[in-house]
Amino acid sequence: MSAVLVAAFTGHMEETYQALLDAPKDAVGLVIGLVGGMVLFLGLLNVAREGGLLGWLARRLHPLMRRLFPDVPADHPAMSAMILNMAANILGLGNAATPFGLKAMVELRKLNPRPGVASDSMALFLAINTSSVTLMPPLGTMLIREAAGSADPLAFWIPTVIATTASTIAAVTACLLLRRLWKARGWDDDLEVSELEDAGDPIGAAGDARIPDPPAESPSAGRRLLVWGVALALLVALGLEIDRILADPDASLRSILRGWLLPLLVVFFLLVGLSGRVKVYEAAVAGGREGLDVAVRIVPFLVIILAAVALFRASGALDLLIALLDPITRPLGLPAEALPMALLRPLSGSGAFGVMSEILQAEGPDTFTGLLVSTFQGSTETTFYVLAIYLGAARVRAGRYTLAACLCGDVAGLVAATWACHLFFG
pLDDT higher than threshold 60 for residue 198: no
DSSP string, 4-61: HHHHHHHT-HHHHHHHHHHHHHHHHHHHHHHHHHHHHHHHHHHHHHHTTHHHHHHHHH
pLDDT higher than threshold 90 for residue 166: yes
With respect to residue 20, please indicate whether it lies within any of the assigned structural domains. Answer: no
| Bigger pLDDT: 220 vs 301 | 220
Class of residue 108 by CB neighbours under 10 A (exposed 0-12, middle 13-18, buried 19+): buried
Q: Which domain holds residue 64?
A: 34-184+221-295+366-415
pLDDT higher than threshold 90 for residue 275: no
pLDDT higher than threshold 70 for residue 257: no
Counting the structural domains of the chain, the total is: 1
Residues 97-121, mean pLDDT to the nearest whole number: 84
366 neighbors 150 (Cβ within 8 angstroms): yes
288 neighbors 40 (Cβ within 8 angstroms): yes
DSSP string, 82-140: HHHHHHHHHTT-HHHHHHHHHHHHHHHHHT-SSTTB--HHHHHHHHHHTT----S--HH
Class of residue 4 by CB neighbours under 10 A (exposed 0-12, middle 13-18, buried 19+): middle
pLDDT band for 205, please (50, 70, 90 cuts). very low
With respect to residue 26, please indicate whether it lies within any of the assigned structural domains. Answer: no
Residues 358-380, mean pLDDT to the nearest whole number: 87
Give percent of the chain with pLDDT exceeding 70: 79
- Report CA 302 to chain centroid distance, whole Å: 17
Give percent of the chain with pLDDT exceeding 90: 12
3-state DSSP call for residue 315?
A: coil
pLDDT higher than threshold 50 for residue 408: yes
With respect to residue 154, please indicate whether it lies within any of the assigned structural domains. Answer: yes
CA dist., res. 41 & res. 319, Å (int): 37
Mean pLDDT, the chain, integer = 79
With respect to residue 234, please indicate whether it lies within any of the assigned structural domains. Answer: yes
CA dist., res. 119 & res. 112, Å (int): 6
| Bigger pLDDT: 372 vs 13 | 372
With respect to residue 156, please indicate whether it lies within any of the assigned structural domains. Answer: yes
Q: Say how many Å lie between the first and final Cα of the chain, rounded.
A: 38
Provide φ and ψ at 191, rounded to 5°: -95, 110
With respect to residue 381, please indicate whether it lies within any of the assigned structural domains. Answer: yes
With respect to residue 102, please indicate whether it lies within any of the assigned structural domains. Answer: yes
With respect to residue 190, please indicate whether it lies within any of the assigned structural domains. Answer: no
141 neighbors 156 (Cβ within 8 angstroms): yes
Which of the given ranges, 124-138, 272-286, 327-341, 406-420, has the highest pLDDT on average?
406-420
Please give the model's pTM, rounded to 2 decimal places: 0.74
- Binning the chain into helix, strand and coil, the percentages to the nearest 5 are 75, 0, 25
Q: How many helices (H) and strands (E) would you count in the chain?
A: 18, 0
Which of the given ranges, 180-194, 242-256, 323-337, has the highest pLDDT on average?
323-337
**What's the longest Cα–Cα distance across the chain?**
75
Question: Could you tell me which residues are beta bridge partners of residue 117?
Answer: 398
Residues 55-77, mean pLDDT to the nearest whole number: 84
